[in-house]
Amino acid sequence: MVQYSHSRLSSFENCPQQFEYRYIQKIEVEGEGIEAFLGKRVHEILERLYHHLGRHGRPPSLSQVQKRFAQDWELHWHDKIRIVRTEREPGHYLQQGERCLENYYRSHYPFEEGQTVALEKPISFQLDPEGRYRMRGIIDRLTRQSDGTYEIHDYKTSGFLPPLSRLEKDRQLALYQIGIEQSFPDSERIELVWHYLVFNKTLRLRRTREQLEDLGARTIQLIDQIEASSSYPANPGPLCRWCDYREICPSALLPASDAGNASSERTPPPEPTGSLHAVPATPSQATTPRPPAEDAVQLSLL
């Protein structure tokens, strides 16, 4: 059977027609949305920051982080980047990325919160004992705390902060927890951590064994449904504006006025809930060292 990912599952749930274009017909797409471009650049810089910290024992200055981000933005920019919200200029998204990085840097300096086990870690795991249902994914950052707790971190650059009820239904990181449990025998305690960088908010959740087993069973059912499908009807709606296949899909006919307030993130299907609590990402100034002055020693992010 095909090895599935969270994005592959979500594509079928959101719009089977999109799923067919992407995974059955394998139609290649030229260009990318500005939201995806922004997310890639921010993720790359945060990965570089932690690699640099591991090599040199101290982080670069914030000005170096921002400078490298601007350089990478210009280096990778191309004329096929799509901006759906035409009232916004590219500079709006550049500034959003800068704000994401500054929020994270000032909140987590000097970046001593747990041991970094892996960055952008590919993970492959199975949902059944026979190994017929296999999943894969990439974890933004995996850490281990001094008490043995593993943390699965995910960076979000979206301008939308979901309510707790929505995040409780998130499937992606819970699936990654199943994978970490299979790969790390000492992972008796695992916490799922979302960083909503624009809002400087950190959200945390833990899943019980029963919740994970239920998630695995329902994911297997979804995979069976996909494998048994022979038709892939379109599911037109406001988010058609962000679809990579809008130009070739006969159902993507909604006028712009119908989609003006739509979020660029799709709503995930119902998932088991857990004990979730929001945690302010900004530590107390009385107990946390302040970042170095921007004219202090500049360390390369290369």
- On whether residue 41 sits in a domain, the answer given is yes
Q: What is the pLDDT of residue 55?
A: 95
**Per-residue pLDDT reduced to its tens digit, 85-123:** 999 999 999 999 999 999 999 999 999 999 999 999 999
Range of the domain at 192: 4-280
- On whether residue 294 sits in a domain, the answer given is no
- On whether residue 13 sits in a domain, the answer given is yes
Torsion of CA 224, 272, 155, 110, to 10 degrees: -140
- On whether residue 300 sits in a domain, the answer given is no
The model's pTM is: 0.84
* Number of separate domains in the chain: 1
132: tokens are: 């017929």
pLDDT at 159 over 80: yes
Q: Which residues are CB-neighbours of 141 under 8 A, at least 6 positions away?
A: 46, 47, 50, 116, 118, 119, 120, 153, 155
Mean pLDDT for the stretch of residues 4-16: 96
- On whether residue 290 sits in a domain, the answer given is no
- On whether residue 296 sits in a domain, the answer given is no
- On whether residue 139 sits in a domain, the answer given is yes
Which domain CATH number covers 181? 3.90.320
What is the three-class DSSP state of 137?
Answer: strand
**Per-residue pLDDT reduced to its tens digit, 231-288:** 999 999 888 999 999 989 988 754 443 433 333 343 332 333 333 333 333 333 333 4
Cα gap 159→265, rounded to integer Å: 10
- On whether residue 22 sits in a domain, the answer given is yes
Q: What is the pLDDT of residue 239?
A: 85
Which residue shows structure tokens 């379109």? 234
